[in-house]
Structure 1
Amino acid sequence: MNNIIIDAARDYVLNQYQQHPHPNLVYHNLVHTQQVVQAAAQIAAHYRLQDDELLAVYVAAWFHDAGYLIGEGKVHEENGAQEALRFLQQQQVPEKVQSMVQGAILATKMPQSPHTLVEQIVCDADLSHLGSKEFADRNKLLRQELQLTYQRDIPAINWLTNNITFLTEHHYWTDYAQMLFKQQKDENLAKLKKKLEKKTAEAAEEATNAPADAGTAPLKAQEKIKKDKTKKPERGVETMFRTTSTNHIRLSSMADSKAHIMISVNSIIISVILSVLVRRLEDYPNMIIPSIIFLTTAVLTVIFSVLATRPNVTSGVFTKTDIEKKDANLLFFGNFYKMHLEEYQWGMKQMMNDSDFLYSSMTRDIYYLGVVLGHKYKLLRISYNIFMFGLIISVLAFLIAAIFFPVKA
């Protein structure tokens, strides 16, 4: 039973990340949540937890950052705890487990304040990256996320100083986490201190040389700030394009899977009707009309499902005029699959050298992905509606034929 609820919690959170994409969440994203779940499972395996305690650990790990998707980041623990409570109530989980999950999620709020072993495990898992070899990469993403969120640059020296203070004051709550992560955490702390010394020395050197360039220093500082502001939104824009495109492709794949299910099911129905039922209609003439309704439903469902997955054929060619007018979308294979490699390379170089053209192409690509996706889901919805209502009418027709128009012996 616990595994079923844990799997349901995983699917629920995955669906939340798909339905509520946040381009700015480059750190508090699905990857971080999956890493926390993995760390929580590793730590929990060391202790002899009861089934309900183990369930609480897993569910809390999955939901601990879900609040970022449905509200402000400052109160994401409270929002995540409420979201987890709603999920557990739907699953009819005992109140004891609900309380443990809520307590574990709220305990991750900084400064952490766990009181039970379950809360300590979740808190240690949440900050397990501090003692991992991926700390540097994850820390860069956290800085990037904060800069995107608050739309301001965080100076390197300030960031390193705050990180050193945080790692120095932080401690893992469980004995196993201390044994597992402490050594690597100390190494990460030493690297941060070394970086801070280097940055401080560079800043001191710049300050020493400042009088010689006093006239140009303000200008250089303004240019640096302008350059940083230019780079900052570009990273966010690229993340937004990447996330949006991935979500579109994932939704398209889900639509294709749903269409394939309808095609497979109704193909079996058509085969059964044609091979078995049709031969018996001479003996049961009262079933002719219900059979026709059932067969028509299956055929129409298959038709609309096939239409939903049928690919469109495009010209596969672009011209230099299209490139000059910035009308060609070189990111979609349908616009270049008939072209020679040299022509396509030339077009890509033109696009990459023009940021407006590049972003316009990416925007156009996402737009047409959305248009295709909307058309696909519209046809798929029609297919499901035909199947649902047709199935109901067919069953009613069979019942009416069998009850009110029985075959006379």
Structure 2
Amino acid sequence: MMTTPSGLLKAAEVYVFDLLKDKLPNELVYHNFNHTKDTVDACEEMANHYQLNDIEKEDLMLAAWFHDTGYTVKYKDHEEESVKIAETFLRSKLDEKRLSSITEMIKSTHVNVPVNNLNEEILHDADCINMGKKQFCKNAELLRVEWEQSLKQNYTDLQWAEGQLHFLINKKFKTAYALQTYGDGKEKNLKKQRKQIEKLKSDQFKLHLKEKGIEVKSKKEGRGIETLYRSVYDYHINLSSIADNKANIMISINTIIVSLIITLFGSGYTFTGDGTFASIRFVFPMAFLVISSLLSVVFAILSARPNITSKEKFELDNKNSSILFFGNFAQIQINEFVSHIKELKKEKEELYDSMTVDIYHLGVVLVRKYKLLTTSYNIFMGGLVVCAVGFLLIMLLSY
């Protein structure tokens, strides 16, 4: 909950803004007014959470406004100058006790000074609140530029990333509120920093190998190949599943038809109602339907029937057969199979070749399945059409 700032806080904000605008060195792109304002806002957020009284809250926010003003005088140990600037502005406005409390809070922001009370803990956490926010990496780059310009300290990308990781690991929030609110964000930034370090180390290693003339394939290329094979395998398996489902449909429909017609004939069913077959003419279309249904069932069963044997004896040196097909590796001993798989894992090209051969044979099986299935559907369709036309002709000629 944001509250209206007091007159003193408003005056401090204007004073600090003008001071930083006029005297802050241009190379300080991180420790500027934006960082100060973020720190003040974080202090107000935590002060409201801990329900500090008006005096404590005002002192805390005054300390936040002045804690980095010393950068206008010097970079290292700037806290000493920040205290002097705060005392100059506040001495005529506050009593000695409050002024001492504010200056002690400013001093506590120094890296080597311990914090002693809740207000100092809040200011400490507010000053480094960025490590729990999404813009941590962006702000860290600003700090890197600032150090390079102000302190003449240059870092490689890997050195800087490792330094930021070290900072995230060792810098801890002091207040329970900051830990609960920004702790997850800090952990995410820590993970991002570790991934960045791993990537930079990998890039360095690849560059080292490249300088030695060793070609290195990128992970994206390897993933692309793996995705290709995975997609093709999934596609073939889906097609095989569809073919088997269609074959099951044909088997179910045609067996029902055959069973029904055989039952009708077996029970002496008649089309005239006198208990005997009055005319043999109706037998022919029904008999044709039975025959076509039987043939359709046969081709559907052939399509769905599993084939676990290879046409030729499997040999490890045969480039036209794949050990990945279970019908092939079932022909050899388990130790031979394990040994050959180990060899495939070492040689990626051989592994890909073996997978390619396996995909080819899967395709051959699919072609056979769909040819038999097509024949089954065509016979079934032809039988239905001939039977229906036969009945119609007989009915027209008879009546």
Q: Given residue 83 of structure 2, which amino acid in structure 1 is its aligned partner?
A: A
1:144 matched to 2:145: yes
Alignment-derived partner of residue 37 in structure 1: 40
Partner of 1:8: 11
Contact (CA 8 Å) 2:24, 2:32: kept in 1 or not?
no
The answer to whether structure 1 residue 94 and structure 2 residue 92 are counterparts is: no
Specify the SS of the correspondent of 2:120: helix
Aligned 8 A contact 1:55 1:97 in 2: no
Structure with the higher helix share, 1 or 2: 1
Q: Quick one: percent identity of the two aligned structures?
A: 31
Give runs of aligned pairs for residues 2-401 of structure 1, distance below 5 A: 3-69=6-72, 71-91=73-93, 93-111=94-112, 113-212=114-213
Normalising by structure 1, what TM-score? 0.50
* Residue aligned with 1:61, SS: helix
Deviation at 1:142, TM superposition (A): 0.6
Counterpart of 1:251? none
> How many angstroms apart in 2 are the aligned matches of 1:172 and 1:100?
21
Letter in 1 for 2:64: A
Partner of 2:226: none
Alpha-carbon distance in structure 1 between the residues aligned to 2:17 and 2:176: 31
**1:88 alignment partner AA:** L
The one-character-per-residue Cα deviations of 1:143-201 (angstroms, maximum 9, x if unpaired) are: 11111113353111111111111111111111111111101110011000000000011
Shift of 1:2: 7.8
CA offset digits 1:1-42 (Å, max 9, x no partner): 981111111111011022214210100011111111111111
Question: Partner of 2:77: helix, strand, or coil?
Answer: helix
Say if 1:107 and 1:119, in contact at 8 Å, map to a contact too.
yes
Partners of 1:78 and 1:177 lie apart in 2 by 27
Deviations 1:193-241 (A, max 9, x none): 000000011112222333349xxxxxxxxxxxxxxxxxxxxxxxxxxxx
Shift of residue 90, structure 1, vs aligned partner? 2.7
Matched length: 211
Give me the TM-score of the superposition, normalised by structure 2: 0.51
Cα deviation, 1:265-304, whole Å, max 9, x if unaligned, reads xxxxxxxxxxxxxxxxxxxxxxxxxxxxxxxxxxxxxxxx
CA contact (8 A) 2:44 2:61 kept: yes
| Alpha-carbon separation, structure 2, partners of 1:148 and 1:201 | 29
Amino acid at match of 2:201: T
The AA in structure 1 aligned to 2:200 is K
Rg larger for: 2
Q: Distance in 2 between matches of 1:156 and 1:112?
A: 30
Check conservation: 2:16, 2:65, Cα contact below 8 A: yes
Residues 33-79 of structure 1: per-residue CA shift (max 9 Å, x gap): 1111111111111112132211111101101110001x221111111
How far the C-alpha of 1:107 sits from its partner, in A, is: 0.8
AA at the equivalent of 2:76: K
Please give the alpha-carbon distance, in whole angstroms, between the structure 1 residues aligned to 2:126 and 2:28.
19
For the Cα contact (< 8 Å) 1:160–1:196, is it kept in 2?
yes
| Cα RMSD (Å) | 1.8
